[in-house]
Structure 1
Amino acid sequence: MPKITDTQTIILTRAASRPGNLAMPLPDGLSGAAAKMTVTKMIERGWLEEVEANLRRNEPLWRETGDGHGTTLIATEAGLEAIGIDPVVASTVSNVRKAAPAEKAAGVAADDTPGLKLASIRQGTKQALLIEMLQRPEGASTSEIVEATSWQAHTARGVISGALKKKLGLPITSEKHP
């Protein structure tokens, strides 16, 4: 497997945190020939994919195609795997984007596609451990989470309500036991 550079890692990490795994805009200071060379290598390795940009949603352009349209870049499943992120949604995003031109031809507007707010979870992190614990049939108590993660109780509750419920949109239920 080819070695990934720091610049490529930054591009893919930022893409993983953006809705739809959008790799644009590129990091500050990366422009011109250096940007073209970096992106070309990443596309060749299958880490990035060039797709039609949705100009109605003001997606940043990678390049213009000359016919009033443009393309943007998204991180692929292979790109997310290259930086150690579980690519659960990368293929779904790619399929939705590829289906959009077909829907447009069938008379369905590209804006009718619901806004995707997708995120990937890196394996081996405390957040991944927390999700794993909460997915058990019996769930997990705050004290179990605190013990497993070495977090304070208020931090565990904050991660559950902020990162898991609000940012990732995971369904979380809680119960009080006497």
Structure 2
Amino acid sequence: MTDIKLTDTQRQILEHAVQHTSGKLDWFPDNIKGGARNKVIDSLFNRALITRDGDGWCVAAEGYDALGVARPGCEATQPTEPEQRRTRANSKQAEVIAMLKRPEGATINQICAATGWQSHTVRGTFAGAFKKKLGLDITSSKEVGGERVYYIAG
């Protein structure tokens, strides 16, 4: 057993989770509501006694140690694939992506005319929404004396 000092409330919450819900924090004393509940959770988390478990909390190995309780056996979990970000079908963003997927690509001026956006908004959308958020690979080329044409590579 370690020398971790727990408040009565912290001990009650951890013991209930270990004894009744296989380590899942889903019960709090009646006098712990709202901000007080958040403070208790923050305190337990900052001391590494609980960890995130999807949309809830569960007792961490250190939490079992603090209670002097044997740690449960590990269950193999399947890693979940991150959800791909999507674009709504009838949005300006979808319209721009369709323009960039055309074999001839699209210029900044063409996109501005189609969306009503200003040129700096189009360039910002390329860097932010398309490259960073959606992970699209946008390339460009410029013919001698012509405008720069943008494409979605692939």
TM-score by length of 1: 0.40
Structure with higher Rg: it is 2
Bigger share in helix: 1
TM-score of the aligned structures, taking structure 2 as reference length: 0.46
